[in-house]
Chains A and B, each alone.
Chain A
């Protein structure tokens, strides 16, 4: 099986038996969408909450929550997943530096924006490991849908 890597502001899809991962999420949020019947999982590494923040007319959709998550849904449907069966898990959105205002920090805004777009798309969030003040590496397994979260100083968790 292969491990498909997703970079910053990027997205991709993995089919069984492959897994998909993104390394070193800080204030960025990793959203995974899983179709358990087809055993297909997709992942997007969201950097910023909204395309309204874009100062350029051409941008990577995966960079923003409100364009990246819908694009990932399209990619999954293209790969054979059913839109109706998709379930979401997410991780990241940390506050890496103490000077960021905790209420309005970019990590928190990323989490909220991902939840908002998933709600609009009618995709339930069944698990999350968000917030805090530490970096995360995440790997999603296409055969089970399990999302593994690895950090520097804490035990590995599987959600």
Chain B
């Protein structure tokens, strides 16, 4: 039986990759302005993958990550996640506020609100670009922060997709908030901006872009 996600055509995956480039490019620019230093977008990957591969993709189900989660509402619905390694979240706060806000190994309330605001700015600028590109009316929920096992967080983001499929299309852009240091070496900290549209939103995206009749799809 045809699975709308697993069996998506290469052409449509390319269209989604373009969305990722445009959205994440805008988000990286916004983050760069916020941090006052370069932020590079390294690569956009759009691959249909089984749920268990999604958690492997972010370093394994038990990998500790800092995630800012926003729910997208409007002409399309879905989830947006800004995922960093747990240590990278603290490093980002330290850079912005001169304080990593960590006491007892947990993020302080201050650090949490800084990260939520970063997530808010990233998802907002990503969706503004997507909205300009497609003409969609899009809103996001207040962002939520969670520091926990990647599997526990990602599986929540996959819930809507799970109603229709055993596969997810993770529209992923890897960004480097550290940019290049003074020697031109790329710093290790990196984050991912994941767009996870609800399954029924894919058709609306392709329709808005006039590519819904392409090939067998």
Contacts and interface: CB of A to CB of B under 8 A. Distances in A.
Given A7-B51, A9-B51, A26 B60 contact: no
Interface stretch (B143-151, B176-184, B209-217): B143-151
Contacts of B3: 56
Band of interface residues on B: 35 or more
Residue of A54, A96, A106 most packed against chain B (CB within 10 A): A96
By DSSP majority rule, is chain B's interface helix, strand, loop, or mixed?
Answer: mixed
Interface string B51-73: 11001000011101000010100
A9 B162 contact: yes
Contacts, number: 100
Interface of B: 1, 3, 51-52, 55, 60-62, 64, 69, 71, 105-106, 141-142, 144, 146-156, 158-159, 162-166, 199
A137 B152 CA distance: 9
Contacts of B147: 152
The 3 A-B residue pairs with the shortest CB-CB distance, nearest first, are A24-B151, A135-B152, A26-B152
A23 B62 CA distance: 6
Interface of A: 7-10, 23-28, 47-48, 53-60, 63, 94, 96-99, 106, 134-137, 152-153
B144 A99 contact: yes
9 contacts: A7-B51, A24-B152, A26-B155, A27-B152, A27-B159, A56-B1, A134-B152, A135-B153, A153-B106
B128 to A, nearest CB: 21
B152 A25 contact: yes
Contact of B149 (A48, A106, A152): A152
Contacts of B55: 8, 23-24
Contacts of B154: 24
Given A55-B164, A56-B164, A26 B156 contact: yes
